[in-house]
Every structure is written in structure tokens, then in C-alpha cells.
């Protein structure tokens, strides 16, 4: 097994990251030994984080001269650089990433006519132009569910309304000549201290699959088979909990002035208390303040409310009717987290959860730890946003909440390399 991972790591393959966000998947692929060609992300906030860490710091991408190194919308790339994209046929090993999930998410309003759902067709057009050897696609569980209210209607000749988008994508990719398989995967089973289930689709060009006696479902068999050894090699726990991830980041450790957030204070490091913390702190000077570990300035009545929830409300349970009446709040979901448990899926709204022992919400760095981002990975842009800007800006919490955990991305990258090199 050790020889297998050594050989796989030595082999270099190219990929393009679509809807790249702040770079969670690209970071995982970087660790797995892939070389990025370029990444497409429309948000200037998320792109600035990816640019700072992976483009400038790690020189991870061999960015082509014909494509601006900036935040871009996929439709603009498809329109303005069609010939260049078609010229990549046979030259790209992998196209990774999935379109924004808000229109599919069961946590939101789940609208079939959400304009972001149309990015599925943009994604498929990109695959049609570039024809990579393999495809890695990620989206929320709602992507696999039917829009039942719309079954009677019809949609533009390409897709009947009401069907699950996953079935549409599978059908089109098979038409393009790919052997495909899609399954739900719970990232908590792959060393992530978070119950986060996502739809993962893998596609392999049929000629390659036939020549090497492969099936797309082999990806799911192999990543399950290899996960124990992968985590053991990194001295990481098989089943980490929240305390394993963030117990060295308590506010009780002391604070200093936040350098990039006026009027706020940042927590200081304590001694690492788990192998998970040691791993994510690799290369970090413990005398420095953690990046993006700025504590919220809660008002006194909010702190008192949180203290009540921590004392009387069971971990991972929604607010009781009694507490909502007592504190005169309409919000139903403020969940005290459990130190010895995994978090629910972290969302883009940090005020959904309370720290397990301190009356406050989690910091951006604690969010990043839960998602397995290393501490050297620095986040850029606003910490939070609200009002009308919520639909326009992608602050740090949102960047992390939307990301694929890099630790899972790395495991996926190793298996995808194996499929190509078999």
C-alpha cells in the first residue's frame, strides 16, 4: 500500500477547477500531486483567497496566456475562449468541481427555476468542449431529488421539468461518451469532523474505461478501501470530533488585536491537543496569531442567551419553544455544538451554531478547521455580510461553508490518478 501511494504521488496530471470557490478542492488536488491548468470562479472574494494561496503562494497553476488570471464567469469563458477550450481536447486529464448548489439545496428554498441551476448546462458545454479523461463533480443532496411540483410542465426540449438534475447530467455525460456513476458520500467517514453528505459523480471516457477494464463505480470502491491507510499515514484519527479540531483555539487562551478587522480581537494558540490539530498547524509559528480567528463582538444579552443555551439546551438540538418565548426570538436553529461529537453540516451562516464551551459563534478559522483547511491557508475578503449584499458578496464564512473539504479532495485526487494510471 505504501508503494502504491508513493508511485501515485510521483505522477503528475493536469486538471481544471470549475466553480472553484476559495480553492478547497484545488488544495486537495495539490496535496494529491495534481497540477492545475486554471480555475474558474466568478466571485472576486473567493477568487482572491484562491489566488493568494494557490496561485501566488504555491504556484500551483500553469495558467495559460490566453486566459486572464482573475475572477471570471463560466459563460464568459465559454463565449470568449471557445476555440482555446476546444483546443484543450486530449490535453486535460480532469475537469473537477460542480455548479453552485443554492437552487438545489434542501436547506434553502429549492427553486427549479433558480438562474444558478442553468449553470448545469454551462458545465456540460465546458465538458463537451474540453473532453477531459475523467470528471469529478460535487453537489448537494438536493441535486439528486426531483422537483415534484413541476412534473406537468416542460422545459426547452432538453430536460423535462420535475426530474432530478443528477439524472439529466448522467444522461448527457453518457451521450458525450463517458462511463459515469454518482453516489452520496458522507465526508465524516473520511476523516472530517463534520456530518456533511454530498453527491459525488465520477466519469471516465468510455474508451479509457474499456481499455483498462474500469468502471466509474471503481472510484467509490477504492476511496472506501484506501481511506483507513490514507489517514494512518498522516497520523490522523479515523473518526475525529469537534474537540479534536478546535480545542486549541479557545478564547480563554488570550487575545490580541485583529490585524485586518478594526475593533475586533483574535484568539491565540494553545498547545496542540490532537494529531488533527498538529497536522493542520504544520508550518505555523505558534507565536503568531491564527489567521481569521477573529471573535465576534456579541452584545451582553446575546452572551447571556448563549450561556443559557449551553447550560440547558442539549447539544445539536434546535431551540425549544420555551426558550424562544423567554428570549423573544423567532429563530429556530441555534445549535450548541458537542465537543465529543461531529458538527452538523456547517452552513454559510455562522450564527446557526454555538461553540461547545464558550458563549459565542465559531470563528472563521474554526470553520476552516472543521472543513480541514490547514492553518497556513489564509482567507481574504470580508468576514461577514448581510442585507442586499448577501446575494452579491462571498465573505470568509461563506467561502468555507461552500467548499469541498481539502482532506477529502486529496483522497479523491489520489484515487482519480489511480484510475488514469491503471
CA proximity to 345, closest of 363, 370, 381: 370
Long-range contacts of 161-164 (CB under 8 A, 24+ apart): 161/112, 162/112
| 17 within 8 A of 40, measured Cβ to Cβ | yes
Same domain as 267, residue 392: yes
Query: 49 with 139, same domain?
Result: yes
The full 3-state SS of 33-78, as one line of letters, equals CCEEEEEECCCHHHHHHHHHHHHHHCCCECCCCCCCCCCCCHHHHH
Q: Do residue 104 and residue 182 come from a single domain?
A: yes
- Cα R_g (the chain), whole angstroms: 22
Q: Dihedral of the CA atoms 70, 73, 77, 78 (nearest 10)? A: 170
- Note if the pTM is more than 0.85: yes
Cα–Cα distance, 246 to 285 (Å, whole number): 17
Give the span between the Cα atoms of 244 and 185, in whole angstroms.
22
How many Cα atoms are found within 13 Å in the side-chain-facing hemisphere of 4?
12
Same domain, 172 and 276: no
Domain range spanning residue 82? 2-237+405-421
Grid look-up 477504492 returns: 222
> Which residues are CB-contacts of 138 (< 8 A; sequence separation ≥ 6)?
25, 97, 98, 198, 199, 200, 201, 404
CB-CB contact of 265 with 257 (8 Å): yes
Residue whose cell numbers read 501511494: 5
The CATH number linked to 285 is 3.90.120
Q: Smallest Cα–Cα separation from 343: which of 331, 353, 358?
A: 353
Residues 216 and 259 in one domain: no
291 and 161 share one domain: no
CB 364 within 8 A of CB 385: no
* Domain match, 135 and 11 both: yes
User: Both 85 and 121 in a single domain?
Assistant: yes
Q: Are residues 222 and 281 in the same domain?
A: no
Q: For the beta carbon of residue 17, count every other beta carbon within 10 angstroms.
A: 28
Q: Is the domain of 258 the same as that of 343?
A: yes
The total of structural domains in the chain comes to: 2
CATH of the domain at 410: 3.40.50.150
Mapped onto helix, strand or coil, the DSSP state of residue 103 is coil
Q: How far apart are CA 101 and CA 122, in angstroms?
A: 14
Both 179 and 252 in a single domain? no
pLDDT in tens, the chain (422 residues): 665 556 555 678 999 999 999 999 999 999 999 999 999 999 999 999 999 999 999 999 999 999 999 999 999 999 999 999 999 999 999 999 989 855 444 444 545 454 446 899 999 999 999 999 999 999 988 887 764 554 444 444 344 445 678 899 999 999 999 999 999 999 999 999 999 999 999 999 999 999 999 999 999 999 999 999 999 999 999 999 999 999 999 999 999 999 999 999 999 999 999 999 999 999 999 999 999 999 999 999 999 999 998 988 877 677 777 777 888 887 767 889 999 999 999 988 899 899 999 999 999 999 999 999 999 999 999 999 887 787 889 999 999 999 999 999 999 999 999 999 86
170 and 121: one domain? yes
CB 92 within 8 A of CB 16: yes
Around Cβ 117, how many Cβ atoms within 10 Å? 19
Amino acid at each position: 500500500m505504501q508503494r502504491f501511494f508513493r508511485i501515485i504521488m510521483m505522477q503528475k496530471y493536469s486538471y481544471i477547477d470549475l466553480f472553484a470557490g476559495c480553492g478547497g478542492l484545488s488544495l486537495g488536488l495539490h496535496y494529491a500531486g495534481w497540477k492545475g491548468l486554471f480555475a474558474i470562479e466568478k466571485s472576486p472574494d473567493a477568487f482572491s483567497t484562491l489566488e493568494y494561496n494557490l496561485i501566488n503562494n504555491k504556484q500551483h497553476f500553469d495558467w495559460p496566456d490566453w486566459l486572464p488570471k482573475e475572477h471570471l464567469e463560466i459563460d464568459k469563458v465559454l463565449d470568449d475562449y471557445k476555440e482555446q477550450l476546444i483546443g484543450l481536447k486530449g490535453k486535460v486529464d480532469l475537469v473537477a468541481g460542480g455548479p453552485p448548489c443554492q437552487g438545489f439545496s434542501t436547506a434553502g428554498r429549492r427553486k427549479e427555476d433558480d438562474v444558478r441551476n442553468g449553470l448545469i448546462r454551462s458545465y456540460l458545454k465546458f465538458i463537451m468542449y474540453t473532453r477531459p479523461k475523467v470528471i469529478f463533480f460535487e453537489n448537494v443532496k438536493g441535486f439528486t431529488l426531483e422537483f415534484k411540483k413541476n412534473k406537468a410542465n416542460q422545459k426547452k426540449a432538453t430536460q423535462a421539468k420535475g426530474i432530478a438534475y443528477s439524472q439529466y447530467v448522467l444522461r448527457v455525460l453518457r451521450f458525450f461518451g463517458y462511463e459515469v456513476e454518482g453516489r452520496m458520500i458522507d465526508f465524516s467517514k473520511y476523516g472530517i469532523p463534520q456530518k456533511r453528505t454530498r453527491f459525488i459523480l465520477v466519469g471516465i471516457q468510455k474508451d479509457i474505461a474499456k481499455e483498462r477494464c474500469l468502471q466509474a463505480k471503481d472510484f467509490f470502491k477504492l476511496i472506501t478501501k484506501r481511506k483507513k491507510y490514507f489517514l494512518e499515514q498522516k497520523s490522523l484519527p479515523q473518526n475525529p470530533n469537534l474537540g479534536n479540531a478546535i480545542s486549541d483555539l479557545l478564547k480563554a487562551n488570550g487575545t490580541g488585536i485583529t490585524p485586518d478587522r478594526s475593533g475586533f480581537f483574535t484568539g491565540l494558540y494553545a498547545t496542540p491537543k490532537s494529531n488533527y490539530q498538529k497536522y493542520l498547524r504544520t508550518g505555523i509559528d505558534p507565536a503568531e496569531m491564527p489567521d481569521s480567528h477573529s471573535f465576534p463582538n456579541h452584545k451582553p444579552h446575546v452572551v447571556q442567551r448563549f450561556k443559557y443555551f449551553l447550560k440547558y439546551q442539549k447539544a445539536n438540538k434546535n431551540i425549544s419553544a420555551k426558550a424562544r418565548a423567554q428570549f423573544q426570538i423567532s429563530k429556530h436553529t441555534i445549535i450548541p455544538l458537542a465537543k465529543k461529537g461531529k458538527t452538523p453540516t456547517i452552513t454559510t451562516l455562522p450564527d446557526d451554531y454555538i461553540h461547545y464551551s464558550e458563549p459565542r459563534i465559531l470563528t472563521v478559522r474554526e470553520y476552516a478547521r472543521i472543513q480541514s483547511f490547514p492553518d497556513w491557508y489564509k482567507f481574504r475578503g470580508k468576514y461577514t455580510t448581510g442585507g442586499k449584499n448577501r446575494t452579491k458578496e462571498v465573505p470568509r464564512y461563506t467561502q468555507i461553508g461552500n467548499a469541498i473539504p481539502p482532506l477529502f479532495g486529496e483522497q479523491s485526487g489520489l484515487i482519480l490518478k489511480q484510475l488514469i494510471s491503471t
